[in-house]
Structures are given as C-alpha cells and as structure tokens.
Amino acid sequence: MQNSSQFLQQEDPNATKKWAVNLLKECAKAIFEKDSVKIHHVLWMLNELASPYGDCEQKLAFYFLQALFYKLTESGERSYKTLVSAAEKSQSFDSARKVILKFQEVSPWTTFGHVASNSAILEAFEGKSKLHIIDISNTYCTQWPTLLESLATRNDDTPHLKLSVVVTDGARGSIMKEIGYRMQKFARLMGVPFEFKAISFFSRLSDLDRDKFGVKEDEAVAVNCIGAFRKLGVEERSEFIQMVRSLQPRVVTVVEEEADFSSKEDEFFKCFEECLKFYSMFFEMLEESFAPTSNERLMLERECSRSIIKLLGCGRDDNESEIREKGIQWCNRLLEAFSPACFSEDTIDDVKALLKRYQAGWSLLPASGDASGLYMTWKQEPVVWASAWKL
C-alpha cells in the first residue's frame, strides 16, 4: 500500500490534483465494504495530509475525515451537538451579518435567489396595496432592503408591507430583535408603511400552521422559501407544501441548493459521493472567492463541516439531517399543490446583470424537461435552483 508522499507523487496529474476526493472515496468504499485494514490505512493517509487551514483539498480532507471518524466511532451525535452549541454561543448579530454580507459581496451563491425571488414577488404584488410576505429562510432579512426600495418607487401609492419572518435556529432572541429594529428603521427611511413580526416558539418547521401567520383576507400574500424545505423531514415535505397552499399566496418562491442527499441509509456510499461532489464545488468556489486568510471564509467552512458531520457522521434521521433534493425533485412535490410561474424576461435580465458583477465562472441555465425555474451554474455545474409558483 502507498504512503501519503507516494500517493501525491503519482504520474496521473488529475489524481494528484483531486487527491482528497480520491482518498475520501476509497475510505468511504472501505467503510461500506467493512474492509477494516483498508479503512485504517486510508484514514492514516488522510490524517497525514488534511488540515483546516490548508488549500481546498486539505480542507475537504479534514472536514470529511472528521465525519468518517465520527461514523466509525459512533460519536457523531455527541460531537455534532457540541459543535452546534459552541457555534451558537459565539454567534452575535454583528458576526453573522458580517459573514453574510461578505459572502454576498464576493459570490452570487445567495444573492442569485434573492434577485430572482424579489422580482417574482414584485410582479405578483403589482397594483396591490396591502402586502404580506411570509419569509421562511435563513438570510437574516438581507434580501428585503432592495425590495423595500422598489416598493418605495412604485408608480402608484406606496403599499403597506407586513413581513412575517419565521425564526429558524441560529437567529433567535436578541439577533432577531436587532434585525426587526433595523428593518423598521430602513422602511421609515424609504417611506414604506411597514410591520415586522417574528414567528418563533416552535420546535420544528413542520409545527407551523396557517393560524400562526395571521393572514388577513385583504392581504396579497407571498411565501418566500430560501433553503427552507430541506429543513423539513422528507416525509413532512408534501404536508408542509399543502400548508403553504392554504395561505392562498399569489406567489411562492423556492430556492434550494442543487444536490440530492435523499438516498436511503443503507446506500451510504451513494450519499457520500453526492455530498462530496457538492461540497467539493462549494469549497472550490470559496477558495476562488475569498482571500486565503478570510475569517468569513473559515466560518462558512465550519458551518459546512457541521452539515457534513450531521449527514454522514451521525445516525441517519431523515427528519433532522437537512436532506437536500434537486430541483426536479422539488418540482414533483410542488406540482401537487401549485403551477409553475415562469420568470419574466425582466427577471432573467436582472439575474444576468447580477452575475456579471462577480468573477468569471458563473452563468444562468433555464430548467428543461419536467423541471421548472432557473439554475445558477458554477463552471457549468448547476449549484443553486430558483423557482416561482402560483395557485
């Protein structure tokens, strides 16, 4: 068997360039096949080469090695809870806001969904005077200042906007209070009549029901779901979509990362490969977008590491693991309750203009076949899917 230095001196340059992916696949396959000799050998090699402060390959090796080690030692649940608790204790509004805004500055990963969703929402609200946006996302309301600016410059009378924000984990208490205060201050500056409501005190997203939102008959409703559906258990998703339908929205906007982690628990290697493919692209994108010493990049990578550990290192719980699905899978679920609302040419032009502000490598790909919506691609690979839906 090779040692770590021999592995990196292979004649095949592609194997050397992607050494982390190759070694990690070897290790996952050995775990799946219960080959203990190979498991220990490849783990040793990965441990020699991995580092959370190295290049993209070293970081990828480090974080996936953690998850594989926790799986083998059955210590994933305990370790994951410790990591999440430490992250929540150290998080403040300013630190979270700094990471989000810096990420939006260097990459369209999140702003793509904001621009596409805002355009669809504004079109659905055309001519309406009482607006109610139900925001089920993890964006800390960074999506809404540009929408408020657009409402303030409407040709007709400025409408009244109610924003109901579903408080997900990581944005509780003082953080959401500060966000609400800043949103109200900005709305006053824009001259938009505004009401802010934080919806919390529920243990799971699936606990939400129509009554919690206080929707009134004279309100035009939009439901904005960015990274929200993957927080639902796989078996809860269809029922939650029916709950959204019961709100009688004029538009539902859905944005999800393009990955399929929905393979069965006994298909560990298949799930591992999909997870590795997705995070390889994400870590490569971070490396090319941020400076090497960026604290914001490090925080984003650590957030990824917790997701990787939860998915691969803990006992599989389809109601807890944020099981991602691809756009076509979400389309099949959403078609049970809604019809596709095609993005307008103006929306597509807005998204294209956004992507031009960033480094080369980003492009737009319309969905085809049975899928609906738009894909944002990174080096020709679809990475984020955005869509709009109507009754």
Which residue pairs from 278-281 have beta carbons closer than 8 angstroms and sit at least 24 positions apart in sequence? 278/324, 279/60, 279/63, 279/64, 279/304, 279/308, 280/18, 280/21, 280/60, 281/378, 281/379, 281/381, 281/383
Query: What radius of gyration, in Å, describes the C-alpha atoms of the chain?
Result: 22
- To the nearest 10 degrees (0 to 180), the angle between helices 56-73 and 295-308 is 30
Which residue pairs from 3-8 have beta carbons closer than 8 angstroms and sit at least 24 positions apart in sequence? 3/45, 4/45, 4/48, 4/49, 7/45, 8/49
CB 18 within 8 A of CB 57: yes
Element (H, E) at 223: strand 220-226
- What pLDDT is recorded for position 11? 47
Which residue pairs from 182-187 have beta carbons closer than 8 angstroms and sit at least 24 positions apart in sequence? 182/141, 183/141, 183/144, 186/145, 186/148, 187/148, 187/161
Q: Which residue has the tokens 């939006």?
A: 104
Alpha-carbon gap, residue 232 to 204, rounded angstroms: 8
In the chain (391 residues long), the average pLDDT of successive 10-residue segments reads 52 63 92 89 92 92 93 88 84 82 95 96 93 90 94 87 83 75 94 92 80 92 94 89 95 95 78 93 94 90 92 70 87 94 92 94 88 93 96 92
DSSP string, 127-183: T-SEEEEEEEESSTTTTHHHHHHHHHT-SSPPPEEEEEEE--TT--THHHHHHHHHH
Q: Which residues, in sequence order, are bridge partners of residue 196?
A: 163
CB 233 within 8 A of CB 262: no
Tokens standing for 298? 């490090």
Give this prediction's pTM: 0.91
Alpha-carbon gap, residue 17 to 287, rounded angstroms: 15
Please give the backbone phi and psi of residue 26, each rounded to the nearest 5 degrees, phi first.
Answer: -60, -45
Q: Hey, what's the torsion of the CAs at 6, 8, 14, 18, to 10 degrees?
A: 130
Alpha-carbon gap, residue 35 to 64, rounded angstroms: 18
- What pLDDT is recorded for position 13? 46
